[in-house]
Structure 1
Amino acid sequence: MSSHGHLNFSRLFARQERWKGSYYDHRSTRRGLSARSSSKCYDEQSRIFHSQRPSLDFSRNDGITDIASFVFSKKKSFSSRVSLIDGVSGRELTYGELERLVFKLAEGLVDLGVEHGDVVMLLAPNSLYYPVALLAISSIGALAATPNPLGTPDDVRHQAMLTSVKLVMSTRDLLFKIEGLSLPAIVIDYNNDASSSDHGEEQPSVVLLSTILEKVSSLSSLNSGKKNRSLHDPAAVLYSSGTTGMSKAVVLSHANICSQIMQLASSCHHQGPDHGNIIEQEVHLCALPMSHIFGSVVITLQQLYRGNQTVVLRGFELSGMLAAIERYHISHIYVVPPVVLALAKTLQKNNGSLRYDLSSLQNILCGAAPLGKELIETCYKYLPNTSFSQIYGLTEVTGALTLIKDSRQNENLAASVGTMLSDMEAKVVDVENSEPLPPNHKGELLVRGPTTMIGYMNDPQATSSTMNPQGWLRTGDLVYFDELGNLFVVDRIKELIKYKALQVAPAELEALLLSHPQILDAAVIPYKSKETGEIPMAFIVPSLDGNLTEDQVKAFVAEHVAPYKRVRRVAFTNAIPKTASGKILRKELVKQL
């Protein structure tokens, strides 16, 4: 197998690693401070907001070097329990079967030449084998890169080259997105669809997952090399769009991911100190993409660590989700605001009477954007026995930063996204001068803690502009905390458009629009939408000799971008307002609406 280069992460992220290495000493110091003023979330002297939740206990994790060994650390407690269920076919994997598949695939990856520090791209929709692949890659010290399978071939190829991918795991119908990269590939051929089961003629550089699992008979070599590995080694690469429109590769460590799992396990559920040992299994639904931090870490890996069942759906469709809740007696679902909106509208239309039995549903957890008070009240009206939780976070903090367990506990907190998870710290700084601000003052949110990323791969400039040497990460969000540590997100300082749970960069669409021969100038702004949160809206300055229409502009963009990036509204104008330096004045365009 040819390699595209082994990455020197200690060189790439030396500054961040120096801070990470001292984090636990810093946390011990802060723990002593917290003991003296445990009732205060804000320290006036340091002007830092502190989490008031109990600190994470890493004393039980001796000998754990990666996500896989962490997730399976309590396997003896529930090896015969069901871990994953295919929501369509009903196929089940017990925890014992899951662990055997993980380590068989890990052995197969080693046989194919994948080594510690190599990057394996996982380009696939949700399936039982997505977490198998994530954990197998983790167990050998390689990095799992998880692009959105809906991305265009240009997106995927750029991401593969950005992160020096050595091997790709994908479904057959997505292999065309890596054509021309000369990368070896493993085809996931266990999905219940024709595209993955129709094997056809095999290429020398393509091998079937089923073939790998059948060939592996011994797991003897998997512990070799673990002595030199650490939880602080890089584990995963997730892609986040920037305002330039080009993907940034967020690098997370094993410690980042394990810390997030422990934070959520201790905050979301009441189980006592040993979060993995549960008496009765909960049944959780994962219909959000596992390529996203929400689907992979917040849902799937957390529930595998806790010993619960996770029902996997390939994607979201309301009737399919409701049918799965009834069929599998699902107790917890994870959604984004458009899903809650669709559910609320359906409940209203039918006056709360659905043909599906939702009596098993105990909790709905929503992320990506705060839920409106009216929306929550509508759902509570028709689902009185179901609680609503909200999280706020970002990929750069491994998923969730804050959590509110039940949004109806306090009407005054309906707009809040909750309090910070264990061991997280925050500053709110003035947008103009970066001076730290006290409670109830709006400013940019900076965060620090065990889940803050290592950095952006192969982008030291973006890393240094986002994280400083002390580990503070700029979120680009305008927020404020109240005196009790509840976080309120006011607006986004950055210009990214949030379409459902996905980010769209205006600059990428503007560059594309300007390549059209009949467009003289263009600007893209977010347009509020009840269904999706925001949609991209384009302001176009057309050439005088053309007859450009709104439909033509939409069709042109649709030809070149992923579906979620499409322009949904178009307005024609005589000029785009700009500063003297050429920066687009987007607020002026918003005023025209």
Structure 2
Amino acid sequence: MPVRSPYADVEIPDVPLFDFLFTDFGERAGAPAFVDGPSGAAITFAELEGMVLKIAAALSERGIGAGDVVALFAPNTPSYAAVFHGILRANAIVTSVNSLYTPGELAHQLGDSGAKLVFTVSPFLDRVTAALAEVGLPADAVVVLDAAEGRTSLRDLLATTAEPPAQTVTAGDTAVLPYSSGTTGRAKGVILTHRNLVANLCQIAEMGDVSSETKILAVLPFFHIYGMTVMMNQGLHRRATVVTMPKFDLPEFLRVISEHRVSRVYIAPPVAVALAKHPIVDQYDLSCIDVVFSGAAPLDAELGQAVAKRLNCTVLQGYGMTELSPVSHCMPDDRPDMDLNTCGFAIPNVESKLVDPETGQEVGPGERGELWVRGPNVMSGYLNNPEATAITLDDEGYLHTGDVATVTEDGVFTIVDRVKELIKYKGYQVPPAELEALLLTHDEIADAAVIGVRDADGEEVPKAFVVRQAGANLGAAEVMAFVAERIAPHKKVRVVEFIDEIPKSASGKILRKDLRAREAERV
């Protein structure tokens, strides 16, 4: 039987995202909506709305309208939010682009999405220019958020005297085309409608205590759906203040939190490692933090508890994916007692079930199965990819997440691994995430990742890639012994390699495909 959320369904307004977020700011109109963390420059809610309408008008003047796709290729700044919503208010579609992309990767997304225009920043112009040439777009199909000689700037758009176009989009129209991380193949455009985004904001509002008194840190990128929905748009929805950072730098991260008195910090697990273990953390006053919320990858309970103890705050985690807009499960603010190894309950309006990947049969509480999710936040499908859509989204509306989970009788879910990332050792399943969580409890290990590799006999065995703490002299034998003493024999790490950095996506997911490629080069 499907497991319904224990929370009552919420009403989802049948409106475009702009109408949902920008209606009646009331007494918050003059309050800061977004603050640039590095400089302290702020944009109020009223100023933001004015910018959005000007950008929409200027885009309409340039011929951008209903159904057109505009790419946003930039780091987090307050201007990012203005451009994002300006594009939507122009009745167009945003395709958000990973700011780390190479020209070739950018060109793929521009071509696949059919983008007509790119918003970017001057330091990215070399990559944008190369990508535009590769897909045959004119060199002037770019607007810079800052300034660059000979380029149209955001300031130029804001100088328009035109009126914004009539709003013609409906809740069912496509709003954004973020691209999935591509950890299991080439990145795919995820079709998310205005209703998907509005629904997820209504759903998560029931789970967290986010209000006009909240200050949210947005260091995770807005181009990723986690940053887009949970930080940028949730901030607008709840009339909170969002403090932006263009990239993660630990000292700057800590300074911004301390100086801006940020109360709610959204992270991915790699940041939790730094918060729990790095000595520099003690140099900053972080008493302002009420909640640290982790997403994008599983957070180990022991690591989360170390963060909670060190910062004297509540640590929570949730689960989601781009295809879910992104949140489907999370720990609510009022349940800090929950097991941090879990990802909490299904959010309102969501049904879940666990299915054995091999038999296709539903499994019950305590049993492992692939997590399937159905709800108003589930994507329409993958752009230009009916085959991938059919594999992921079934006829009953369930999205097959590819993640292995368990559920308790009380409806508490735990993600235990990826279907395709499970290591099969002598027929036994070995979850890499479990080994990674264990490795991170070692005082001399700063970070770790595990994949399956073939030994001399052709057997798949767990291999750990380990980043030592600064000054540590940890050896491979010590790592293997540490794991062997704490885990079932079939799960033992049998190969160790020390590296300088674990490859990760911008959202914090371990890029095991990069580690596998590294192994393949040696064969």
TM-score bucket of the superposed structures, by smaller chain: 0.7 to 0.9
Q: 1: CA distance between counterparts of 2:285 and 2:144?
A: 34
Q: CA RMSD in A?
A: 3.1
Paired amino acid for 1:222 = P
Specify every segment of 5 or more residues in structure 2 that has no aligned partner in the other structure, as ranges.
424-431, 441-445, 457-497
Q: Which of 253, 270, 281 is the matching residue for 1:338?
A: 270
The aligned residue for residue 299 of structure 2 is: 371
Q: 2: CA distance between counterparts of 1:321 and 1:573?
A: 36
The aligned residue for residue 432 of structure 1 is: 358
Cα distance, 1:244 vs structure 2: 5.9
Q: 2: CA distance between counterparts of 1:570 and 1:170?
A: 32
Percent identical:
31
Q: Does structure 2 conserve the Cα–Cα contact (< 8 Å) formed by 1:331 and 1:362?
A: yes
The aligned residue for residue 337 of structure 2 is: 410
* Cα distance change, pair 464–73 in 1 and its aligned pair in 2 (3 A): same
Superposition pairs for residues 102-501 of structure 1, below 5 Å? 102-177=52-127, 178-180=131-133, 181=135, 182-183=137-138, 184-190=140-146, 197=147, 199-200=148-149, 202=150, 206-214=151-159, 216-219=160-163, 221-223=164-166, 226=168, 229-242=169-182, 245-269=185-209, 278=211, 280-346=212-278, 349=279, 354-384=282-312, 386-405=313-332, 409-410=336-337, 413-495=339-421
Q: Does structure 2 conserve the Cα–Cα contact (< 8 Å) formed by 1:539 and 1:571?
A: no
Cα distance, 1:153 vs structure 2: 1.1
SS of alignment partner, residue 253 of structure 2:
helix
Q: 1: CA distance between counterparts of 2:186 and 2:451?
A: 17
Paired amino acid for 2:275 = L
TM-score, normalised to structure 2, is 0.80
SS of alignment partner, residue 99 of structure 2:
coil
Paired amino acid for 1:113 = G
Q: 2: CA distance between counterparts of 1:467 and 1:120?
A: 26
Q: Does structure 1 conserve the Cα–Cα contact (< 8 Å) formed by 2:33 and 2:236?
A: yes
Paired amino acid for 1:439 = P
Superposition pairs for residues 540-555 of structure 1, below 5 Å? none
SS of alignment partner, residue 364 of structure 1:
strand
Q: Does structure 2 conserve the Cα–Cα contact (< 8 Å) formed by 1:539 and 1:570?
A: no
More deviation, 356-365/242-251: 242-251
Superposition pairs for residues 510-589 of structure 1, below 5 Å? 528=436, 530=440, 531=446, 534=449, 567=515
Q: Does structure 1 conserve the Cα–Cα contact (< 8 Å) formed by 2:374 and 2:398?
A: yes
Q: 1: CA distance between counterparts of 2:520 and 2:394?
A: 42
Cα distance, 1:533 vs structure 2: 5.6
The aligned residue for residue 464 of structure 2 is: none
Q: 2: CA distance between counterparts of 1:334 and 1:421?
A: 18
More deviation, 436-445/113-122: 436-445
Cα distance, 1:568 vs structure 2: 9.2
Paired amino acid for 1:365 = F
Cα distance, 1:443 vs structure 2: 0.9
Paired amino acid for 2:296 = A
* Cα distance change, pair 572–142 in 1 and its aligned pair in 2 (3 A): closer
SS of alignment partner, residue 180 of structure 2:
strand
Paired amino acid for 2:409 = E
Cα distance, 1:570 vs structure 2: 5.2
Q: 1: CA distance between counterparts of 2:32 and 2:125?
A: 31
* Cα distance change, pair 538–439 in 1 and its aligned pair in 2 (3 A): closer
Specify every segment of 5 or more residues in structure 1 that has no aligned partner in the other structure, as ranges.
1-46, 191-196, 271-277, 498-524, 542-553, 576-593
Aligned residues: 453
SS of alignment partner, residue 474 of structure 1:
strand
The aligned residue for residue 474 of structure 2 is: none
Q: Does structure 1 conserve the Cα–Cα contact (< 8 Å) formed by 2:324 and 2:378?
A: yes
Cα distance, 1:572 vs structure 2: 8.2
Cα distance, 1:537 vs structure 2: 8.7
- Please identify the structure whose Cα radius of gyration is greater: 1
